[in-house]
Amino acid sequence: MIKNRLKIYLVATLAMFACEPDPLPIHLELPAQQLVVSSLLIQGQGVTIALTRSFSALNSGLTTDSTLLTSLLVQEAEVLIIENRLDTFRLQQVQDGIFVSADINPVPGNVYGLIATDLQTGTRVEAESIVTEQVQFSDTKGTLIPAGDDSLVNVSYSFNPHPDEDFYMVNVQKLSVDLDQTNLGIDLDLVVPRTFTHLVTKTDSGDQEISDEFIFIVNEDFFTGDTLIVSLASIGPTYYEYLEKRNNTRFGPSFVSEPYNAPSNVENGLGFFNLHTSDNQIIIVE
């Protein structure tokens, strides 16, 4: 026993003298800010374009909040959308970084070009998008799976794919109920929304009805009778590729993932100019 104690003291003494080295500083050349494009198409309500700027990793320490994001909105820009390379629509700025045109009524199969110029910096970006066909759910269902502290929901769905479209996304997010105001609204966390995107290709099924299911991790208390919003849209191949890479890196420590710069269809900028219409459904979890 005495020998054992001696060993412990010896190891402990050596450990006390061990030091953690101070990290070394390093200076990195940071890239110039780039324009970032996001888009939203709502049938009958036109097209909305959001313009923001990228930001240095040292601005945030890799954590983001709404204050930072608000500061990135482009304050002054000219945004044009050109339909089939013929008709030009100038979007109206409704607030910092948000540009809207209700006059555009995108037609599936037509080509729409985007030209956006940041009037403060003179930066100009361009993108092109083909409007995809809208598809609709045939059926959706959510079933709660008891899972201790977490809540899991099995989401099942079916839809008929469009003959001209190969890539689809099914998105899901929790809806919350504000009991005080009895308002139903999206559980909106602007920065880290708990959404999940399930990707589908019709390669295997051809044009037959696609029926599948997946698990959505709610990550908080969730009960039978609570609600989810589920959306379905056909999307372009570049956006599909981006979402697939994003899904691949959902789990596991970052150091086992290969670094990647997300693909983009924006020339001289980042983000996506997408024109697809979603079928949104609200489901009550059983």
Partner 1 sequence: MAILLSVTRVVVAQEIRTITGRVQDAEDGSPLPFCTVKVEGTNAVARTNDDGKFTLRTPSKKVALTFFYIGYISQTLDFDLKADTVIAITLLPSVTTLDNVVVSDERFYGENQIEDIRSSTTRVEAKDVLMVPGLAGEPDLIRTMQLLPGVTKGVEGSVDFFVRGGDADQNLVLLDDAIIYNSGHLFGFMSVFNPDMLGDVQMIKGGFPAYYGGRLSSVIDIKTDGTMPEKTTFNGSVGVISSNLTIAQPLIKDKLAVKIAGRRTYIDQLLKLTGDPDLQLPYYFYDFNGRIDFKPSPRHSFYFSNYFGADILDIESDDPDDNGSSEFDIDNTNLSLGWKYLTPTNNIFSLTLTNSRFSYLVDNAFEESTLAVSNSITDYGLKARYDIFNLDVEKLSVGLDVIRHAMDPLEVDASGIVEDIFPSARSSAVTSFEGGLYADVEKKLTERLSASVGYRQSFATVDGKLYLGFEPRLLARYKLNELSSLKFNFTIISQYQHRVSSASLSLPVDLWYSVTRDIKPQRATQFGFGYVKSLGQSGLLFESEVYYKYANNIIEYQEGTNLFLNTDFEQSIIQGTAESYGWEVLLRKKGERLNGWASYTLSWANRQVDGLNGDATFPARYDRRHNVSIVANYKIFKRWEISAVWEYLSGSRFTPVVAQYAIANPLNTGVTVENIYPDRNSVALSNTHRLDLSLVKKSKPGKKLYGEWRLGVYNVYNRAAPVGIQIEQNPETGLFNYQQPGLFGMLPFISYRFKF
Of residues 222-251, which lie at the interface with partner 1 (CB under 8 A)? 229, 231, 233, 243, 245-246, 248-251
Contacts of 21 (CB under 8 A, 6+ apart): none
Asked if 202 is part of the footprint of partner 1 (rule: CB under 8 A), the reply reads: no
Cβ at position 87, least distance to partner 1 in Å: 25
Residue 55 interacts with partner 1 (CB under 8 A)? Answer: yes
Q: Which is nearer to partner 1, 87 or 147 (CB)?
A: 147
Stretch of 86-94, 128-136, 181-189, 201-209 contacting partner 1, by CB under 8 A: 181-189
The strands making up 35-42's β-sheet, listed across from edge to edge, are 92-95, 98-101, 46-53, 35-42, 270-271
Binding to partner 1 (CB under 8 A) within 20-39 occurs at 20-28, 30-31, 34, 36-39
CA distance 284 to 278: 19
**Taking a C-beta distance cutoff of 8 angstroms, is the pair 236, 132 a contact?**
yes
Mode of pairing for the β-strands spanning 35-42 and 270-271? parallel
Stretch that binds partner 1, among 82-90, 117-125, 219-227, 267-275 (CB under 8 A): 267-275
**C-alpha distances in Å from residue 284, one per residue of 92, 143, 256:** 38, 9, 37
Told to check if 44 binds partner 1 by CB under 8 A, we report: no
Map the footprint of partner 1 across residues 118-147, applying CB under 8 A: 145, 147
Residue 24 phi, psi dihedral angles, 5° rounding: -90, 145
CB of 9 to partner 1, least distance (A): 10
The nearest distance, CB 188 to partner 1, in angstroms, is 6
Residue 16: what are its φ and ψ, rounded to 5°?
Answer: -65, -35
